[in-house]
Amino acid sequence: MRKGVKRFLVILSIVLVLILLLAVGGSYYIGGQVFEGATQLVTCESTTEVPDGFWTTMNMDPDEFRSNYVFENISEISTFDGHVIPGEYIHAGESHDKLVIMIHGLGGNRYTNYPVAKYFVERGFDVITFDQRSSNENTAERTTYGYWEKYDVIDLIDYAERIHPGITIGIWGTSFGGATAVQAVAFLDDQSRIDFMILDCPLGNVEYMISAEMEKMDTGIPTEYMLWLGDILNRQRLGFSYEDANTIDIAREVEVPTLVINSRADEVTPYFMGEEIFNNINCDNKSMWTVDDSEHACIWEDHTEEYIQTINWFLIN
């Protein structure tokens, strides 16, 4: 009887160990899938062109824009991990006294910034528009919701100040690019280097965005569990958590005059994200303009004149 009990306990222990190993292995696999999906939502290959119909929708001829101004290619080397930061320096004229660094959203590239870049150049601002990580010609692996992307922006700030000492610098970022903008400014040791920041439909909460993507997959696995596993793998492989990249919280470190632009109809980066970023920015000179009807990152397209008037007002106040 005792031998039978002992044999049963041994078998039970083996079964439990196997179940545990399967559970751990399965969880690790799921976490890895979440990690890969969350940090590789776009690739260089998928972002080499602008979306179909983009120029028609924006009522813009990119070739005409290029012919009217001097475009200089940029190939700065990242001080963070050594990749090339590809972009363009658009010269508004010969004075070079003010400049805007433009940061595109997820799925975009430096060309998708052209419509708003044209506005700035026509008003005498030089423009740097560049490809974010894993987009178009930027071959840096992983998209990190602004956490690593901020280093590219800081390198471009250094570049602009190096070639034009004393230049006044502003930053414009849309969607994912808005998160990059906030994190770059917050990380600067001297925020007085930045004159202003404009955030168009900024991403505020990483976990919200990843959860939304996972819910689209309809796997049957609880989203909270997958998010937890993905965060563990992100910490293990990249060294930071989703919370570390939460732009809403990071905005508390920003002391730069900021304009937040958002829409109540935005389902990708909902209204609350822009509102909470705005509330947390630690500067009295800040403003928020909200529309009711535009889909994500479509406010320039839907409300061009009002968009221009709002920026004009912001820049002189």
Q: Which domains does the chain have, with CATH numbers?
A: 1-39+207-244 (no CATH), 45-205+246-316 (3.40.50.1820)
HSE on the CB side for 252, CA within 13 Å? 5
Residue 253 buriedness (CB in 10 A; 0-12 / 13-18 / 19+): middle
pLDDT in tens, the chain (317 residues): 466 656 654 554 554 444 444 444 555 577 678 888 889 889 999 999 999 999 999 999 999 999 999 999 999 999 999 999 999 999 999 999 999 999 999 999 999 999 999 999 999 999 999 999 999 999 999 999 999 999 999 999 999 999 999 999 999 999 999 999 999 999 999 999 999 999 999 999 999 988 887 777 666 778 888 888 889 989 999 999 999 999 999 999 999 999 999 999 999 999 999 999 999 999 999 999 999 999 999 999 999 999 999 999 999 98
What is the CB neighbour count within 10 angstroms for residue 264? 14
- The Cα 282–Cα 262 span in angstroms is 19
Which pLDDT value is given to residue 27? 57
Question: Could you tell me where the DSSP H helices lie in the chain?
Answer: 2-39, 54-57, 62-68, 114-122, 149-163, 176-187, 206-217, 223-238, 247-250, 271-280, 299-302, 304-316
Six token digits for residue 14: 């083996």
Please provide residue 282's backbone torsions phi and psi, each rounded to the nearest 5 degrees: -95, 60
Q: What is the pLDDT of residue 18?
A: 44
Q: What's the pLDDT at 26?
A: 52
The separation between the first and the last C-alpha atoms of the chain, rounded to the nearest angstrom, is: 89
For position 17, what pLDDT does the model report?
46
Query: What is the per-residue pLDDT for 317?
Result: 83
Tokens of 67: 């012919």
Q: What is the pTM of this model?
A: 0.91
pLDDT score of 212: 83
200 pairs with which residues across the strands? 174, 261
Please, which residues bridge with residue 86 across strands? 75
- E strands of the chain, at which residues? 70-77, 84-91, 98-103, 126-130, 168-174, 194-200, 258-263, 286-291
